[in-house]
Amino acid sequence: MRETETSSQPWADELRTHGLRVTAGRIAALGHIEAHPHCSAAEIHSALVGGLPSLSQQSVHNIVGDLTECGILRRIDLPDAGSALYETRTRDNHHHVQCVSCHRVEDVDCAVGAAPCLNPDHSHGMRILEASVTFRGICADCEAAEAAGASREAASAAEPSAHRA
């Protein structure tokens, strides 16, 4: 198994704190998600299966499910993401920004700082714990690519055809 980008000891301690066994799959998954936030179970499996050949896709789904249930991971369901994404940043009330073109996802810190950071006009008798906001836009790379494509289309439309009869 290749070495993870982060030390495994803090993750082992975190697993034990939540009453979970420390396994190579859990440690590897946590290390990968910490280094690559907002990744799917399929991406985690693809990244880890070379170093852990016995790790199945179902095992990865079980790992992220268990770790989400106990609060070590946060599951994110965003529009157009294709599948659930996972991150290790769980102890704050941050939000996300997602590019509508390439679907890149980045963290956005809470505007106010204390959960829930947004208050509805009516809570229907519920104590609000958090607010989940997804900002959607176009990242600079996608916007530049779209502009370049539009410029090429305009230039080719303006060129006279050399093969006119």
Candidates 3.30.110.70, 1.10.10.10, 1.10.540.10, 1.20.1080.10; CATH matching 1-91:
1.10.10.10
Q: State yes or no: 139 annotated in a binding site.
A: yes
Which CATH class, in words, describes the domain spanning 93-159?
A: alpha beta
Query: Is pLDDT of 29 > 50?
Result: yes
Query: Is pLDDT of 88 > 90?
Result: yes
Q: Are 38 and 87 in contact (CB under 8 A)?
A: yes
How confident is the model at residue 116, as a pLDDT? 67
If you search the block for the tokens 């299966």, which residue do you land on?
Answer: 49
Query: Which helix or strand (DSSP H or E) is residue 79 part of?
Result: none
C-alpha 86/C-alpha 37 separation (Å) is 7
Query: Which helix or strand (DSSP H or E) is residue 38 part of?
Result: none
Domain boundaries, the chain: 1-91, 93-159
Instruction: Name every residue whose Cβ is closer than 8 Å to that of residue 90 and which is 6 or more positions away in sequence.
Output: 71, 72, 73, 74
What token pair was written down for 135?
């900002």
SS (HEC) of 89-128: CCCCCCEEEEECCCCCEEEECCCCCCCCCCCCCCCCCCCC
Query: Is pLDDT of 83 > 80?
Result: yes
Do the domains at 1-91 and 93-159 have one common CATH topology? no
110-164 pLDDT, tens per residue?
766 666 667 778 888 888 877 778 888 999 999 999 888 877 777 777 776 555 4
Q: State yes or no: 110 annotated in a binding site.
A: no
User: What distance, in Å, lies between the first and last C-alpha atoms of the chain?
Assistant: 67
